[in-house]
Chains A and B, each alone.
Chain A
Amino acid sequence: MTITADQENQGPGQLRVVGTRAARHDAVDKVTGRAQFGADVYMAGLLHGKFLRSPYAHARIRSIDTRKAEALPGVKAVATAGDFPIVQKQPIEFAQSVRGSRITAEVILAHERVMYVGHAVAAVAATSFHIAEEAARLIEVDYEVLPAILSIEDALKEGAPFLHESMTTQFRVDRFGRGEDTGVKSNIADHIQLKSGDLEQGFREAEVTVEREFFTQTVHQGYIEPFSSTAYWAPDGHVTIWTTTQGIFNVRSSTAEIIGVPESMVKVIPMEVGGGFGGKGTFYLDPVAAVLSKKTGHPVKIVMTRKEVFEGTGPGSASHMRVKMGADRSGRITAAKFYLAYEAGAFPGSAVAGGATTGTGQYNIENFQIDGYDVVVNKQKAQGYRAPGQSQANFAIETVVDELAEKLGMDPLDLRLKNVVQEGDRMPSGVPYPRVGLKEIEEAMKAHPHYSAPLEGPNRGRGIAVAFRWQGGQGSPATINVNSNGTISLITGSVDLSGTRTTVAMQAAEVLGLSIDDVVSTVGDTDSVGVSGGTGGSRVTFDTGLAAIAAAEEVKRQMSARAAQLWELQPEDVEFRDGIFTCTKNPADRMTFKELARRLGSTGGLITCSVYAPTTGVGPIFAGNIVDVAVDLETGKVDILRFTSFIDAGRAVHPGFVEGQMQGSTAQGIGWALSEEFFYTENGTVANSSFLDYRMPTSSDLPMIDTVIIEVPNPRHPFGLRGVGEVAAVPPLAALANAIYRAAGIRVTRLPMSPGNILEALEEKSAQR
């Protein structure tokens, strides 16, 4: 279902391509098995790489003996961190301005200390992966085991050992700002603080207050394709990398730094990506494959096992949060105090700022204080996971708001509407909102038949939640080549995770009056396209779309000049509308885009236009959920009976893709809420490093997921669109928690709301009686 607001504000004229359900450019390859993913790279002389990983959460590496491994027939080379020039040149530094590739190198291969179980220590290249695996086991590492810190609580305890002796807390008040060094030695890498108004006064004005503490678990993005990379270091020093990544230019620049070559010597070729969700926003294999290739003279391919993905790649952070919120009798939220501590893993960089700057962003609150802490522990370095850091924060805030509504005897949607943010209101960071659609979402939720449908049966409940997220925010290039038959090829530089080649092409086709079938859309490699931001932050359809539109406008301008040349007029005498060039002086002179394209060759040659569209900054996007559950009081199992997801897409470029983003986001949110969890043993080992034990939702766990797309046009985009890739993943955690409360009378504040945790909460509740 799509609800469109502001019809008149939809951009120029009637849209013909944007808003349709165009066929994907890559769909035939994907349904026939011909799409080439990272592991599908084969070439002559290919060697296979495997890692040896740490069995300890924290240990000093005294020595590494590779002789036995090297002696195994078929083994061609062994690499350690010592093979990375950056490791030889630079110590690890923790000031925000100098973090970067040195820390990445340390995550890829441990240098002097292993920092978590699964931390890679050495890698082998051999003629088969079986041999490489055998050889990796023959590497002997002498470890001095050190005490490990495995939780936020332990890391922040008085007298806790410091994970990094040289690390001091960086303090900042802006998500994107550089921190100031506080000089305080701590396991807190970063402290972000957002403040407004007078907190004490705010709480004095409150009629009701709710104070709660929350714990959320470590979760994994769960992409089905493991990391893979193939690298070839040619005798002339050129390094080619075929890889699965969300950002080819990040892999290029950072790999070049790590292996000590100029970035112009590294070419990164993007393969199809089998899911990323933020997890593939960083990389683990490429520099190792490159170094092994240099040592052997052969291309080297490394593919992670699933166990390695769980143990050795960055998951979404576990968190510890405290919230206190107050509201007056009318339902106005008068004050909010929000403490968030996120596990960064062994090195700084959790997404706590994402949570701190968005958690309360659905509400107009005058008085608040938000403190977010990035805490290092002996676990995998955390990585972004679909709206990084926001699901945790939203779970806490939306649960507390639900409780406020209950205490006030208000409908939870009425309370939200009472405090809803609109254009001109301020984000928690202080930046004013442009035109946004949260109010429209909340009104649509209230009017939706799901919200008023009777809930029949025992232990059933309905919950809601809403969420705020940013989208966009990096510059992008686009090149359009006009072919002589009037079709175009469009080349962009941010990899396509889920259909963006098509959504970007739709925008170019719209401008040029072409059909989507007239556009061939490709993501180039790092040698063939301008530097582009990575794929993340719901940005590609938005940012790269702006670049495609700008390139198409330039094509239009140059084509108009050619038409003027043919008609012996000035370019301003040519008008282009709906795919037709018309002479304004003599409207009988008309040419379609295709007719004119045929004549380009004889009027100065075919046309190529390249543009770089700088970022227009990040923009807000909102989503909401209504969910019905049944809780089995005997087993603690939660069944989802009905789920409706709402989003303000601004303008749904491709409604089928938008629905797909909403449904996939929802399924991930449900998994996070109900079943997914890393179990760490006492020594820091992930005890459930397989899909079977990690428990992502399967088709038999989920119902259909209904979608409602609201369209409140984004003033920052010619067609009004907003990036939709992440926000719908944020509200399911709280929506489910609120539904479970109404079904079973328990407020679960520790995720996941798995049968065990539900039963525990039920027992606590009956013990209190």
Chain B
Amino acid sequence: MPDRIRVRTRVNDAEVEFLCESRQSLLEVLRDVLGLTGAKEGCNDGNCGACTVIMDGRTVNSCLVLAVEAEGRSITTIEGLASAEGLHPLQQIFLDEVALQCGFCTPGVILSAKALLDREPRADEARIRCWMGGNLCRCTGYDKIVRAVLRAGEAMRKGAS
């Protein structure tokens, strides 16, 4: 059994400590060690975006981040978006606009959209299509996803003002 390394990090606003092997990815630890299975493995080589999480405000493919690199970081996964008050506006609008079908890419898509809208709440269609280019969806043809992100941007701007 290879030596395990202790890592201290923040996940969804809570202090988290885990042990991992040096070869384990952040995705593997989120799923297999921390039980956060909302991050999905679609390719394990950074091409599909199903494992997208937000690390220190930036989206990362968690399959391409080593678990040991999480030391001292702050990570948001899909499980951290809804609160006791209810769904995040993006989640609610994805639901209202039928912006999902099988739902496998959805956690990554929503986190990717959140990272965009958090920094560019006025992102237009072209910007959204470009930004979301790293999140493959095979079911929707992206139409309803792009519309949902546009609407969420509007809703989040209104909510903020």
Contact = CB atoms under 8 A, between A and B. Distances in A.
8 contacts: A30-B100, A31-B92, A224-B137, A272-B103, A306-B45, A660-B139, A696-B138, A699-B130
A24 interface: yes
A601 interface: no
Interface stretch (B3-11, B36-44, B67-75, B153-161): B36-44
A37 B40 contact: yes
B110 A223 contact: no
B60 interface: no
Contacts of B144: 656, 659-660, 663
Interface string A643-664: 0000000000000110110011
The number of chain B residues touching the other chain, given as a range, is 35 or more
B77 A33 contact: yes
B47 A692 contact: yes
Contact of A704 (B110, B138, B143): B143
Given A664-B101, A699-B135, A704-B146, A306 B141 contact: no
Contacts of B141: 660, 663-668, 702, 705
9 nearest A-B residue pairs (beta carbon): A33-B38, A274-B104, A30-B103, A33-B78, A667-B141, A663-B141, A691-B47, A306-B43, A656-B98
Nearest to A666: B141
A330 B100 CA distance: 47
Interface in B125-161: 125, 128-130, 132-147
B6 to A, nearest CB: 19
A416 B47 CA distance: 42
Contacts of A24: 95, 98
B59 interface: no
A305 B138 contact: no
B139 A664 contact: yes
Contacts of B134: 698
A752 B80 CA distance: 42
Nearest to A274: B104
Q: Which of A130, A664, A699 has the most CB of B within 10 A?
A: A699
B120 interface: no
Contact of B95 (A27, A226, A303, A705): A27
A666 B132 CA distance: 19
A33 B37 CA distance: 7
Contact of B39 (A33, A35, A690): A33
A28 B95 contact: yes
B82 interface: yes
Interface size class of A (residues with CB under 8 A): 35 or more
Contacts of B87: 28, 31-32
A479 to B, nearest CB: 25
A677 interface: no
A702 B44 contact: no
Contacts of A34: 38, 79
A406 B100 CA distance: 41
B66 interface: no
Contacts of A263: none
**Most chain A beta-carbon contacts within 10 A, residue among B50, B87, B103, B140:** B103
Interface of A is mostly: loop
Contacts of A656: 97-98, 144
B11 to A, nearest CB: 13
A726 to B, nearest CB: 13
B102 interface: yes
Contact of B41 (A26, A39, A42): A39
Given A275-B104, A498-B101, A698-B133, A690 B43 contact: yes
Contacts of B145: 699
A34 B87 CA distance: 13
Given A32-B79, A225-B42, A305-B44, A21 B98 contact: yes
Contacts of A272: 102-104
Interface in B41-71: 41-45, 47-48, 50
A30 B106 contact: yes
A766 interface: no
Nearest to A656: B98
Tell which of B78, B128, B143 has the most Cβ of chain A within 10 Å.
Answer: B143
A222 B140 CA distance: 13
B104 A225 contact: yes
Contacts of A698: 132-134, 136, 142
A700 interface: yes
B92 to A, nearest CB: 8
A74 B58 CA distance: 37
Nearest to A670: B141
Interface string A1-43: 0000000000000000000010110111111111111011010
A699 B129 contact: yes
Contacts of B115: none
A657 B98 contact: yes
Contacts of B140: 660, 663-664, 667
A277 interface: yes
A74 B139 CA distance: 39
B41 A303 contact: yes
A306 to B, nearest CB: 4
Contact of A224 (B104, B128, B130, B143): B104
A297 interface: no
A161 interface: no
Given A35-B103, A306-B43, 13 more contacts: A26-B103, A31-B110, A224-B40, A224-B104, A226-B42, A656-B98, A659-B98, A664-B101, A696-B138, A699-B128, A699-B146, A704-B143, A705-B141
A36 B47 CA distance: 22
A755 interface: no
A306 B45 CA distance: 9
Which of A40, A225, A668, A696 has the most C-beta atoms of chain B within 10 angstroms of its own C-beta? A225
Contacts of A139: none
Contacts of B136: 224, 691, 696, 698
B123 interface: no
A660 B94 CA distance: 13
Contacts of B40: 37, 39, 224-225, 274
Given A35-B103, A274-B102, A274-B104, A699 B39 contact: no
A644 B109 CA distance: 25
Interface string A296-321: 00000001011000000000000000
A498 B41 contact: no
Of the candidates B87, B129, B130, the one having the most CB atoms from chain A within 10 angstroms of its own CB is: B129
A665 B136 CA distance: 15
Contact of B100 (A27, A40, A690, A699): A27
Nearest to A497: B102
A625 to B, nearest CB: 13
B113 to A, nearest CB: 11
Contacts of A74: 1
A383 to B, nearest CB: 15
A695 to B, nearest CB: 10
B26 interface: no
Contacts of A277: 138
Contacts of A659: 98, 143-144
A691 B42 CA distance: 9
A663 B103 CA distance: 16
Contact of B133 (A23, A31, A699): A699
Nearest to B2: A130
A497 B103 CA distance: 9
B97 to A, nearest CB: 8
